Amino acid sequence: MQPTVLDHAESRPLRFGVNYTPSQGWFHSWLDFDPDAVRRDFDDIAGLGVDHVRIFALWPLVQPHRGLIRAAALADVRAVVEIAAEFELAVNVDALQGHLSSFDFVPAWLQSWHRRELFTDPDVVQALADYLEALAVSVADQRNLLGITLGNEVNQFAATRHPDRQQVTPDAVQAWLHQLIAATRQGISDSAAVVTHACDDAAWYDDRSPFRPEHVAGYGDLSVVHSWVFNGAAQTFGGLGDGSVRHAEYLLQLAAAWHVDDDRPLWLQEVGAPVNVVAARDVVSFIEQTIRNAAGVRGLWGITWWCSHDVSRELRDFPELEYDLGLFTTDRRPKRAARAFARMIGEVAQAGDPAASGAPAADEDPAALVLDDTDPTYRSSCSPGGAFHRAWLAEAAERGRGPAIVLRSRVGARTQHPERDLAHATDTQLRGM
């Protein structure tokens, strides 16, 4: 077995990448696959100084029928990985898209008359496993394969607010993750690639979400965090408020709180500057502060910016903010955000390993906050503007660094932390614990 991709991190303090949104035709470009167009886009991306890209298959194009996994579609994914290698970019491949920038791509065999449960129907889950394994097999021998993520925020399909909600319990989520991760590992065989899954922040903030923090922190090789400040953070605290520019840092600390293994790595797999809530003039500062703050979190493996290229306005119906998240325009000119992001990559590299430079583990952080995860509404409390979030921000403001987080359910297990009565903790009580 090769050394895992994670070991590469030894040669640099933090990995940087971008989520690849094709400049021409967005993800519909899979239908008109053009290796040279990918090559041009990857040339843009490599110029930023990043070391990896995250790419997104369109599930209905790869598996348009239960029983049909298209070899040509897998070959196209493999070709993108090969092109990335030309630019010395590692590649993470996401499979179950699924959800992308407000659009749901679900194959016909799961829709309408054939509507079935995505998370619990055994035939469906087996078909997903088949897809993941086949996708993994198709790229497993690529030396620049970083990893495979089950899919982009697949948990959104189980959200209460989803217009066609898929039913699933937390226990069934575990079974689903277990089966699909196992199938993917089977596919990558002895490759160095990692296997992950990705949730939006409902896992942390929505009391009703069947995808829970322990799923993020317990399944896959890294804990994956997607940080979007349009979720109320920027609306509440302002685009450059601490609640926004520390939002990624905060989510990373939250994820770390659920780690059983202190050495489990964290991946800030999506973070971006949405101009509906971050003023255009503030984007550069948002990028700088967000990256500086997140980079200080112990265990952070890498930051993958959303996204590489803007979406063409010829493609209708995106939420307004989605058109403008790119580091490059649709005609491939770098935006100010691109230069800021590239500068930050250099700054972080020069500063050396931020973890080595002093970010304390939870056990050693005197400012660590205790989160009462035994309260069934703890996720509301964690959500932007909630009591726990505000307590964490107050501590961060005082110390200039967001505090580590300790779960109440585990306090007794950690000898460094005397057990205290946290059942009725208020903002004030929580501060400094």
Contacts with a second copy, residue ranges (CB under 8 A): 25-26, 28, 31-32, 60-61, 64-68, 70, 72-73, 102-106, 108-109, 111-115, 123, 162-164, 314-317
Side by side, the strands of the sheet bearing 145-149 are: 194-196, 145-149, 90-94, 52-56, 15-19, 300-306, 266-271, 223-227
| Least separation in angstroms between CB 236 and a second copy | 24
User: What token pair was written down for 79?
Assistant: 């070709």
Closer CB to a second copy, residue 113 or residue 421?
Answer: 113
Greatest Cα pair distance, the chain, in angstroms, is 62
Q: In the 8-state DSSP scheme, what is residue 211? A: S
Closer CB to a second copy, residue 123 or residue 363?
Answer: 123
| Least separation in angstroms between CB 204 and a second copy | 21
Give the integer Cα–Cα distance in Å for 286 and 269: 17
| Least separation in angstroms between CB 135 and a second copy | 16
Closer CB to a second copy, residue 64 or residue 218?
Answer: 64
Q: Is 186 exposed, middle or buried (0-12, 13-18, 19+ CB in 10 A)?
A: middle
Closer CB to a second copy, residue 326 or residue 403?
Answer: 326
Closer CB to a second copy, residue 163 or residue 418?
Answer: 163
- The per-residue b/e assignment along 348-361, b for 16 or more CB within 10 angstroms, e otherwise, is beeeeebbeeebeb
| Least separation in angstroms between CB 61 and a second copy | 7
Write out the E strands in 138-276. 145-149, 194-196, 223-227, 266-271
Q: What type of residue is 373?
A: D
Number of CB atoms found within 10 A of residue 211's CB: 27
| Least separation in angstroms between CB 153 and a second copy | 13
Phi-psi region of 138 (alpha: psi -120 to 50; beta: other; left: phi over 0): alpha
| Least separation in angstroms between CB 425 and a second copy | 37
Closer CB to a second copy, residue 33 or residue 250?
Answer: 33
| Least separation in angstroms between CB 357 and a second copy | 43
Phi-psi region of 153 (alpha: psi -120 to 50; beta: other; left: phi over 0): left
Helices (H), 47-121: 59-62, 71-86
Closer CB to a second copy, residue 324 or residue 373?
Answer: 324
| Least separation in angstroms between CB 214 and a second copy | 28
Give the integer Cα–Cα distance in Å for 173 and 297: 28
Closer CB to a second copy, residue 70 or residue 343?
Answer: 70
Give the integer Cα–Cα distance in Å for 28 and 33: 9
Distances (CA, A) of 363 to 60, 136, 267: 45, 37, 21
